[in-house]
Chain A
Amino acid sequence: MELTGRTEQRDRTEQRDRTEQRDRTEQRDRTEQRDRTEQMDRTEQMDRTEQMDRTERTELRESAEGMCPARASRAFALSDRESLISRLESVGRIPDFEYLRAPQKGLIMVRGRAGGAGRLFNLCEALATRCSVRVNRRCGHAYVLGDDPAKALAAALASALYLDPDYSGKMASVVLELEGELDRKRELARRKAMETKVEFFTLARGEDDD
């Protein structure tokens, strides 16, 4: 999902969090999983972009079989800890797993571009937790924002199971549910922001002098 092109056309401001490439390897996993802050923009352009976003995703959804792992990782990483864990448990018994990297906390550099198109700058550092596990000979990796080892583990497990043919069907529907939840939250936040939308316009003055 490349946003830059659209951003330029529509001249809207959106702040994007991009996790710094702590290392090359994970960078690959993450390039497509750019976290975007849920910051709401009050312009109509934003509405249109959002709609597009959603249409695109619906199309992806129809071909759920070909869903890319990065998309699943994104859904796991952005979801609430509780809903992620409860959905993961609903999939069935979690097989024994082995840590490749037990949950560890660290700072990642958040970088951004003004207007989505300007020069890359370092915005701030953010606390993140990462974790990697192996389940049934498949590796799952997760990076989540904040100090949250339980969620990092759950997200890593979910990513690994997602790659496991025995679970991938169930996990794909988990991803769709989580995405639906994320969409609803986003929509709610957008509506809340729209309630306080103010239209500025120039009052006509002096023209009607009769």
Chain B
Amino acid sequence: MTTDGRLTPGFASCSLASQAVFRLALAALSKPAFPFPADFGVLFERDPPMPATLAAMALTLADGLTPVWLSPSLRAASDWLQFHRSVPLARTPDRASLVFAASPGELPPLDELSQGTGRYPDRSATVVLGGVLAESGGGVPVLASGPGVEEERVFEGHGLGRDFMAAWARNRAAYPLGVDAFLAGPGSIAGLPRSLSLNPG
């Protein structure tokens, strides 16, 4: 670790950047299924070892008390994340409180993640999912509804497949338990709190 010449810096301005990202994450959760523009690349002087949006979320949300699970194609960044945030790495997704996946294909089944307990529903995992929300994201358009959404919101181009939709429906059914998710695509993030319903539009 000491001799590893491949480590790269974190945020150019550590506190300002994590505050800005955190604020955006809060906004995303309070206005669910709405893609907020998030040009997180500018927060780094050098390209981080994982996609900038995921990297910024990781540096902002993770610390020494949050076991993190990284999907296989993100593992190259584990040294970097450990150096900057001293995060414990979870060997299996079910032990993590933060789950980062590079794409929906790498996402472990949601119901295998930490669901929280009846007494402490907040102890569930939070998922940060990359590889979505791209310009040509595709996927079926969905109607999002639930707390924080006035009537219904059509959510398009998110790149989520039917598998995810089905998993999310089960997640919603487990309320108040279940995971919360961020879709962290290139250049934007959207929040999917567990209270949100997604239905084919």
Report which A residues bind B (CB closer than 8 A).
Answer: 22-26, 28-29, 69, 98-102, 104, 132, 134, 137-141, 159, 163
What would be 11 A-B contacts, judged by CB atoms less than 8 Å apart? A26-B86, A29-B2, A98-B9, A98-B46, A100-B7, A100-B8, A104-B14, A134-B7, A139-B1, A139-B2, A163-B3
- Select which of B3, B4, B5, B9 is within 8 A of A101 by beta carbon: B9
| Closest partner residue, chain A, to B15 (CB atom) | A104
Check A25/B5 contact, CB under 8 A, given A100-B83, A104-B14: no
Check A23/B5 contact, CB under 8 A, given A100-B83, A101-B10, A101-B84: no
For B4, B10, B83, B84, the residue with the greatest tally of chain A CB atoms inside 10 Å of its CB is B83
Interface pair A163/B2, CB less than 8 Å apart: yes
Interface pair A139/B3, CB less than 8 Å apart: yes
When chains A and B are docked, how far (Å) is the Cα of A138 from the Cα of B1? 10
Residues of A within 8 A of B5 (CB): 134, 137-139
| Closest partner residue, chain A, to B10 (CB atom) | A101
Residues of B within 8 A of A22 (CB): 64, 86
- Select which of A69, A100, A159 is within 8 A of B9 by beta carbon: A100
- Which size class do B's interface residues fall under? 10 to 19
Interface pair A29/B1, CB less than 8 Å apart: yes
Shortest CB-to-CB span from B145 to chain A, Å, is 42
Report which B residues bind A (CB closer than 8 A).
Answer: 1-5, 7-10, 14, 46, 64, 82-86, 88
Check A23/B86 contact, CB under 8 A, given A99-B9, A101-B10, A104-B14: yes
Check A141/B2 contact, CB under 8 A, given A23-B64, A101-B9: yes
Residues of A within 8 A of B64 (CB): 22-24
Residues of A within 8 A of B82 (CB): 23-25
Interface pair A139/B14, CB less than 8 Å apart: no
Contacts A23-B86, A104-B14, A132-B83 known; list 6 others, CB within 8 Å. Answer: A22-B86, A24-B82, A26-B86, A29-B2, A100-B8, A139-B7
Shortest CB-to-CB span from A163 to chain B, Å, is 6
Residues of B within 8 A of A98 (CB): 9, 46
Interface pair A25/B14, CB less than 8 Å apart: no
Shortest CB-to-CB span from B45 to chain A, Å, is 9
Residues of B within 8 A of A140 (CB): 2
| Closest partner residue, chain A, to B8 (CB atom) | A100
Shortest CB-to-CB span from A21 to chain B, Å, is 9
Residues of B within 8 A of A159 (CB): 2
When chains A and B are docked, how far (Å) is the Cα of A131 from the Cα of B26? 30
Residues of B within 8 A of A26 (CB): 86
Nearest 4 Cβ contacts at the A-B interface: A23-B86, A137-B5, A100-B9, A25-B82
Residues of A within 8 A of B7 (CB): 100, 132, 134, 139
- Select which of B2, B14, B88 is within 8 A of A69 by beta carbon: B2
Check A24/B88 contact, CB under 8 A, given A100-B8, A139-B2, A163-B3: yes
When chains A and B are docked, how far (Å) is the Cα of A159 from the Cα of B2? 9
Shortest CB-to-CB span from A105 to chain B, Å, is 12
- Select which of B4, B84, B85 is within 8 A of A139 by beta carbon: B4
When chains A and B are docked, how far (Å) is the Cα of A159 from the Cα of B46? 23
Residues of B within 8 A of A138 (CB): 3, 5
